[in-house]
Amino acid sequence: MESPLVTTEWLARHTERSDLFLIDVSVDNVIGKEPIVYDELITIPGSYKVSIDHELSDTETAGIHVFPKVKQIQQVAQKLGLTPKSMIVLYDDQGIYSAPRAWWIFKSYGFDKVFILDGGLPKWRAEGRETASDHLTSSSTSLLDITEDLDINVSAVKTVPDLLENIESGISTVVDVRAEARFYGKAPEPRPGVRSGHIPKSCNLPFMNVLSSDGLTFKSAGDLNALFESQNFSSDASFIFSCGSGMTACIMLVAAIVAGYENVSLYDGSWAEWGADASLPIEL
């Protein structure tokens, strides 16, 4: 699989491409790492804004960051003028945080030329590159009719029945990327009504382990491969990634792809769903 990442150097050389759509997918609520706080809006010039919390989440279904319905993807495409052949570069204002989530959404709906800006806005700024104080206004000139056939890759997103079946079969390795203390129930969950612990037979690999020491970029492919090998993951392993609400699990999912693994999927409901349902088994 092609690398999901592009560098700030690459973006700086290609900002004038007519088929390039640069999209800011930053979120307001950052959990699991110390957030970078901004006093005012700072953007990369030429970028649009798409909200993960609203435009790329199914707000009509109970849950947090529920995977969007096809109609929502079509509406975003219409808003920006995207087609499945468009080149899309996603970034966020934390370096690497919410952009992997948006990347997996677009990939799961068949957008092949979609990439993550490694280091995002913080790296772009640290290099002294030009910034702006607003986003582009969408042109409303749609290249994708809302009736065009888009559909989700059903293997990309797992549900509670899939996880229950996997507890019995053990076909896939379930990797929980929350902090170790949360995984073992030694720290309280940040969301009310959610039990402590983890999905039976899952393993823990906190998502910060795949990021550089400053938390802004992914580690190199070689370092990521070594990390996964140190967990005794086989080269043909099948993974289901989980976290608190389906956000940071995508960081680990992307890291696995960079490391050379291809059979990856996301448990979208993650612990916010599993931990809130008293009928589901847990381990500490």
How far is Cα 254 from Cα 242, in angstroms, rounded to an integer?
13
Q: Which residues are catalytic?
A: 243
Residue 181 placed within a domain:
yes
In the listed set 81, 108, 126, which residue is the last one of a domain according to the structure? 126
Q: What is the pLDDT of residue 147?
A: 43
pLDDT tens-digit map of 76-110: 998 898 887 889 999 999 999 999 999 999 999 98
Among residues 186, 160, 116, the alpha carbon closest in space to that of 277 is found at: 160
Residue 144 placed within a domain:
no
CA Rg value for the chain: 18
pLDDT tens-digit map of 144-198: 554 456 777 878 999 999 999 999 999 999 999 999 999 999 988 888 889 999 9
Round the average pLDDT of the chain to a whole number and report it: 91
Same structural domain for residues 114 and 180? no
HSE-CB of 45 using CA atoms within 13 angstroms: 8
State the pLDDT confidence band at 257, using cuts at 50, 70 and 90: very high
Among residues 256, 208, 258, 209, the alpha carbon closest in space to that of 233 is found at: 256
Q: Is the pLDDT of residue 65 over 80?
A: no
| Bridge partners of residue 48, in order along the sequence | 23
Same structural domain for residues 111 and 172? no
Q: Give whole-number Cα distances, 155 to 26, 35, 68, 232, in Å.
A: 26, 32, 15, 24
Euclidean distance between the first and the last CA atom of the chain, given in angstroms as a whole number: 35
Q: How many CB atoms lie within 10 A of CB 221?
A: 15
Residue 243 placed within a domain:
yes
Average pLDDT score over residue span 70-75: 90
pLDDT over 90, % of the chain: 75
How far is Cα 47 from Cα 102, in angstroms, rounded to an integer?
15
Same structural domain for residues 98 and 58? yes
Q: Is the pLDDT of residue 141 over 60?
A: no
| Bridge partners of residue 87, in order along the sequence | 20
Q: Which domain holds residue 243?
A: 154-274
pLDDT tens-digit map of 17-50: 888 999 999 999 898 888 999 999 999 999 999 9
- Return the CATH number at 197: 3.40.250.10
Geometric angle at alpha carbon 154, from 183 and 177, rounded to 5°? 15
Q: What share of the chain is helix, strand, coil (3-state, %, to 5)?
A: 30, 15, 55
Among residues 138, 102, 109, the alpha carbon closest in space to that of 24 is found at: 102
Same structural domain for residues 14 and 117? yes
Q: What is the pLDDT of residue 182?
A: 95
Count of domains in the chain? Answer: 2
In the listed set 106, 126, 146, which residue is the last one of a domain according to the structure? 126
pLDDT over 70, % of the chain: 96
Q: What is the pLDDT of residue 51?
A: 94
State the pLDDT confidence band at 2, using cuts at 50, 70 and 90: confident
**How distant is the alpha carbon of residue 206 from its chain centre?**
15
Least confident of 77-91, 192-206, 217-231: 77-91
Same structural domain for residues 161 and 243? yes
Q: Alpha helix locations (H) across 111-169?
A: 120-126, 160-169
In the listed set 126, 145, 179, which residue is the last one of a domain according to the structure? 126
